[in-house]
Structure 1
Amino acid sequence: MHKAVSLSYAFIAIATAGITSCGNTNDKVQIATGQVTQGSTVEANKLYSQARALEAQGSTKKAIKVYGNVTDDYPMSKEAPDARIRQAELLYSQAELMKSFEQYQSFITQYRGTSQYDKAIQRQSDVVHAASTGKIKNSFLGLKSDIPRSKVEKMFIQVRDNAPFGPTAPKAQFGLAEMWQNDKNLGKAIKAYEDLYVRYPKSSLAPEALYRVGNLLLKQTEDGNRNRGNLDTANTTFTDLTLLYPNSKQAKSAKVILKQIKGSDIQRSFSIAEFYEKKKQYPSAAFYYNEVIRATKSGSDLNQRSKQRLAALPK
């Protein structure tokens, strides 16, 4: 299943190292300039003032609606960007997180070059991480509901791709991977962690992503999916981790696990040798006893036992 991933992550890092940070381009981005007809300018200002007054009076629900009308009806007016962000902020303050996410997305899509763009990106990040942990408020009645995982996945991808070179991007990718891991969907979790490393090899989350890939592959072998490819890929992943991030705490843990994998491989070879010996397939038994001898220190328990069994095999 993960054959393709067994290609060293170190190679991937070299291939992606030349990427430099730059923002997304969007030919359809709207920049509000206020260059609308005089009548529209007056009406947009009137609606915006009405929304501000409603907000000040505590009529939050009505204010949200009127702010939306400003941006929907007069998207190029100078009031439009602030109206949309105020609408989103009020929804956020009322814990209407899903609705606020949608309005932040509208703001990000339409008004990328405005001053509150970074705030919208961060708010979206906060919302999707909350959504991934379980139930969140989803209506003015205060009701809470489960958000479908397919919906949360789409939200994570939107947050990641809205600012692919900002700090929220690798966090969104990591959050997506962690969500699948918590749901015990190991295949999707592994793929998402791999994507984080490939996309953001310089992120502080990259060593942890590699470490989790290795551990999840090992978990699959423990859970009954004893695909030799999983074990080999885990070994490659942990090795790459020690080479690429030698000073990370994850690299220290990876070195311990690599020793355990090597030990289990040696024990496995010895067990296979015993199996062939019992079946009287002596050439095959000899091959695996020699494998153990080569992989162990002279004088160690398995080394001595393998030599003794090898010597006792019928010629």
Structure 2
Amino acid sequence: MKKQVTTIGFAALIAMTSVLAALAQTGRPGGTRGYASDHFEGFDALDEDSRILQKTKSFWFSVDAETPAAQLQIAEKNEALGRDRAARKAYEALIREWPTAPEAAQAQYALAQLRERQQKFEKAFDEYQYLITHYAGHCPYQEVLDRQFRIANHLLHNNTSMFGWSLSGTDAIRERFEQIVRNAPRGAQAPEIMLVIGSIRVSEKELQEAIAVYEGLLNRFPQAPQAVTAAYLAAQCRHELAVKHSYNEPRCREAIAFIKAALARMPTHPQKAQMTAWLNELTALLIEQNYQQAVFYDTKQRNAEAAKAAYRRFLSEFSDSRHAAQVRERLTQLEQGAAPLR
């Protein structure tokens, strides 16, 4: 029961910090958001136009047989003889002419495998996605997901030319990983894939989106082994953003709250020492932020009432800090009628 309560508390903390994140972020341009059958934190929203439409009859893909079974035999024979182009067109013709026939699913699967064998990896991935979209109940679903995962990994790790240039943007590759998770939101591979998606976000300096992905993993798979890594990586991103935006108190507070919750949830975390160091650094930053704010009211605005209120708030929260004695002395002076400092 205690473990269950702790898990729920950690999930609630993540939800709270997500709200705080909205306050801490600077504004960014937005557009019309598309719909998604399921919302995934840190994933790009799906647009209605991105839906995979059913293939239709085409002049370029004409059948050579009178039945789906006979057409499938023609396609398979061409492929066996190494006539890949003829096989591809025969598979396509079958799928388009008889989309509801059992052989259509077989042809679509064979077409995707053919594209993969040809090392046309982007096209192979898309053909597998068409198979999942239109023939989910008539294909080896897990095997198709495994093939998509292998293809996405290949694209991720072979995305440079011999000169070191990127062959394609990481956005397109990341979206393929996101698609796999959408295909099986509770699949065994989902936590691992979400870590990959988060790492791609980090590589593109999209830290807020990476945090959303990692915390989405923590919410959906709190007991998965990958949750330990996700907690550390989310803390790392939050620490980096809080230090970068050292003026942003809400961001600093949410980072502190998250790391405290993560360490409470995972007291034996393998990166506990590093996370504790980040926590101490951010706590010191928060103390300095509040101290400087109080001093600002005292010395810049020269507003005695605002300064007294700020000094009192500081002492109520940071009574043991290195500034505490100085703040108490200055607050006493103000309460005795001293003028604000110049």
Structure 1 length as normaliser, TM-score?
0.69
Q: Which amino acid aligns with 2:234?
A: V
Q: Does 1:235 align with 2:256?
A: yes
Q: Which amino acid aligns with 2:11?
A: A
Q: Aligned pair in 2 of structure 1 residues 136, 285: CA closer, same or farther (>3 Å)?
A: closer
- CA-CA distance at 1:183 after TM superposition: 0.7
Q: Aligned pair in 2 of structure 1 residues 188, 130: CA closer, same or farther (>3 Å)?
A: farther
1:86 aligned residue: 110
- CA-CA distance at 1:207 after TM superposition: 3.0
Q: Does 1:117 align with 2:147?
A: no
In structure 2, distance between residues paired with 1:286 and 1:227: 19
- CA-CA distance at 1:236 after TM superposition: 1.4
Residues 286-306 of structure 1: per-residue CA shift (max 9 Å, x gap): 64774687235xxxxx3xx75
Q: Aligned pair in 2 of structure 1 residues 109, 289: CA closer, same or farther (>3 Å)?
A: closer
In structure 2, distance between residues paired with 1:245 and 1:272: 34
Quick one: which of 64, 71, 89 aligns to 2:95?
Answer: 71
Q: How does 1:164-179 map to 2 (within 5 A)?
A: 164-179=185-200
Residues 159-183 of structure 1: per-residue CA shift (max 9 Å, x gap): 1121111123233333332222111
1:209 aligned residue: 230
Q: Which amino acid aligns with 2:201?
A: W
In structure 2, distance between residues paired with 1:247 and 1:110: 46
State the secondary structure of the residue aligned to 1:113: helix
Q: Aligned pair in 2 of structure 1 residues 276, 13: CA closer, same or farther (>3 Å)?
A: closer
In structure 2, distance between residues paired with 1:158 and 1:111: 16
In structure 2, distance between residues paired with 1:12 and 1:85: 44
Q: How does 1:31-70 map to 2 (within 5 A)?
A: 43-70=67-94
- CA-CA distance at 1:65 after TM superposition: 2.5
Q: Does 1:245 align with 2:270?
A: no
Contact between 1:273 and 1:287, CA under 8 Å: does it hold in 2?
no
Contact between 2:249 and 2:289, CA under 8 Å: does it hold in 1?
no
In structure 1, distance between residues paired with 2:100 and 2:176: 26
Q: Which amino acid aligns with 1:146?
A: S
Q: How does 1:96-175 map to 2 (within 5 A)?
A: 96-114=120-138, 116-132=140-156, 135=159, 145-147=167-169, 149=171, 151-175=172-196
The Cα RMSD (Å) is 3.8
Contact between 1:194 and 1:213, CA under 8 Å: does it hold in 2?
yes
- CA-CA distance at 1:158 after TM superposition: 2.3
- CA-CA distance at 1:273 after TM superposition: 6.2
Contact between 1:197 and 1:206, CA under 8 Å: does it hold in 2?
yes
Residues 274-293 of structure 1: per-residue CA shift (max 9 Å, x gap): 66676676746864774687
Quick one: which of 303, 307, 315 aligns to 2:325?
Answer: 307
Contact between 2:170 and 2:200, CA under 8 Å: does it hold in 1?
no
Contact between 1:111 and 1:117, CA under 8 Å: does it hold in 2?
no
1:294 aligned residue: 319
- CA-CA distance at 1:107 after TM superposition: 1.4
Q: How does 1:187-198 map to 2 (within 5 A)?
A: 187-198=208-219
Residues 204-230 of structure 1: per-residue CA shift (max 9 Å, x gap): 222332332332222223333631111
In structure 2, distance between residues paired with 1:41 and 1:203: 51
- CA-CA distance at 1:152 after TM superposition: 4.1
Q: Which amino acid aligns with 2:319?
A: R
Q: Aligned pair in 2 of structure 1 residues 308, 189: CA closer, same or farther (>3 Å)?
A: closer
- CA-CA distance at 1:309 after TM superposition: 7.2
- CA-CA distance at 1:93 after TM superposition: 2.0
Quick one: which of 221, 233, 236 aligns to 2:242?
Answer: 221
Q: How does 1:249-268 map to 2 (within 5 A)?
A: 249-268=270-289
In structure 2, distance between residues paired with 1:147 and 1:167: 27
Report % sequence identity. 21
Residues 32-54 of structure 1: per-residue CA shift (max 9 Å, x gap): xxxxxxxx996323222222222
Contact between 1:194 and 1:209, CA under 8 Å: does it hold in 2?
yes
1:10 aligned residue: 11
